Amino acid sequence: MSGNEIEPVGTYRPQYRLRWRGLVRLLDRFPRVKARLADLVRRVLTKVFDPGIVTTERVVEYPFVYQNLTGLTGPILDIGSVHSRLPIALASRGNRVVGIDFLPYPYRHPNLKAVRGDAAHAPFRATSFDAVVAISVIEHIGIGHYGDPSAERGDREAVREIARILKPGGRSLITLPFGRPLTDDSKRVYDAPRLQWLLAPLRLLHVEYAWSRHGLWMPCTQAEAAMVDWNGPNRAVVLVVATRPEDPAA
């Protein structure tokens, strides 16, 4: 996926071109042959395409966001907007959206304002947003992999900024990799103590977990998610709904 795309190449194209449809119609006269060929194609595609390539954690993260933004009419901040579908999707639903990222956002929408900046030092006044969305992005902040400044506590500083710019009663929706703790050259994976430290500037309202085994995502318990090793094939995420504490400077 190139830097200008928010969907994989071909997402909006037909599944197969018109000339192949004619061949398929010819096979309608031979249903048994057609069924055998279809079964063969399915087996081949199953071997070629790992389900995890298609079914990323976004299949649980995006519904989580839509569900928990229901009823909010004020401005929404999306952190790490450049490679996300959310800013355009939320703006298209009628929300007023601000996206912040170090990289320039390549698309325009009347309800969307793109800002280039550092989420750990957000250029917004206190209590500016009804909601702040950070989907699989906090774990990258401060590592420097995406051109942002290196900072050991960049993730915690970003969460502190979220608490500062949320309106009283506003909601923050945060998703993060969860499992056995890990820090590599692009991300952090959080366990329970590390997550508690990270989210201390916020007041938690709801926490849930999901994991992927062999590419198939489903809800799970904290204990199940905690067993996941991100160096292997499985994945787990924590999905958090939080709000501004009474004293966000605490």
Q: Do residues 198 and 156 touch, judged by C-beta distance below 8 A? A: yes
* Cα angle: 22, vertex 27, 29; to 5 degrees: 120
**What is the 3-class SS of the chain, one letter each residue?**
CCCCCCCCCCCCCCCCCHHHHHHHHHHCCCHHHHHHHHHHHHHHHHHHCCHHHHCCCHHHHHHHHHHHHCCCCCCEEEECCCCCCHHHHHHHCCCCEEEEECCCCCCCECCEEEEECCHHHCCCCCCCEEEEEEECCHHHCCCCCCCCCCCCCHHHHHHHHHHHHEEEEEEEEEEEEECCCEECCCCEEECHHHHHHHCCCCEEEEEEEEEEECCEEEEECHHHHHCCCCCCCCEEEEEEEEECCCCCCC
Q: Residue 20's pLDDT is what?
A: 53
Q: Could you tell me if 14 and 59 lie in one domain? A: no
Q: Do residues 135 and 175 touch, judged by C-beta distance below 8 A? A: yes
Q: Could you tell me if 103 and 225 lie in one domain? A: yes
Q: Could you tell me if 34 and 96 lie in one domain? A: no
Q: Could you tell me if 68 and 7 lie in one domain? A: no
Contacts of 218 (CB under 8 A, 6+ apart): 210, 211
Q: Could you tell me if 20 and 75 lie in one domain? A: no
Within a domain: residue 249?
no
Q: Could you tell me if 33 and 71 lie in one domain? A: no
Does residue 162 surpass a pLDDT of 60?
yes
Q: Residue 68's pLDDT is what?
A: 94
Give the range among 18-22, 32-36, 123-127 with minimum mean pLDDT: 18-22
Give the domain extent around 15.
Answer: 1-49
* Cα–Cα dist 197/190, whole Å: 10
φ, ψ at 220 (rounded to 5°)? -150, 175
Within a domain: residue 250?
no
pLDDT tens for each residue of 49-68: 555 445 788 889 999 999 99
Domain CATH code at residue 180: 3.40.50.150
Q: Residue 7's pLDDT is what?
A: 46
Q: Do residues 119 and 79 touch, judged by C-beta distance below 8 A? A: yes
Domain boundary among 49, 68, 85: 49
Q: Residue 171's pLDDT is what?
A: 94
Instruction: Residue 43: count other Cβ atoms within 10 Å of its Cβ.
Output: 10
pLDDT tens for each residue of 101-154: 988 888 889 999 999 988 899 999 999 999 999 999 999 998 876 667 676 788
Tokens 């839509």 locate to 66
- What are the residues facing 97 on neighbouring strands? 76, 112
Give the range among 26-30, 80-84, 170-174 with minimum mean pLDDT: 26-30
Q: Could you tell me if 230 and 164 lie in one domain? A: yes
Q: Residue 217's pLDDT is what?
A: 92
Q: Could you tell me if 90 and 15 lie in one domain? A: no
Mean model confidence pLDDT for the chain: 83
pLDDT tens for each residue of 222-238: 999 999 999 998 999 99
Domain boundary among 49, 74, 89: 49
Q: Residue 85's pLDDT is what?
A: 83
Q: Could you tell me if 44 and 123 lie in one domain? A: no
Q: Could you tell me if 146 and 35 lie in one domain? A: no
**Which of 174, 153, 7 is CA-nearest to residue 77?**
174
Q: Residue 1's pLDDT is what?
A: 42
Q: Residue 12's pLDDT is what?
A: 38
Of all residues in the chain, the percent with pLDDT exceeding 70 is 80
Q: Could you tell me if 95 and 40 lie in one domain? A: no
Q: Do residues 165 and 77 touch, judged by C-beta distance below 8 A? A: yes
Q: Domain count for the chain, please give it.
A: 2
* Cα–Cα dist 207/180, whole Å: 18
Contacts of 228 (CB under 8 A, 6+ apart): 178, 179, 180, 211, 234, 235, 236
Within a domain: residue 27?
yes
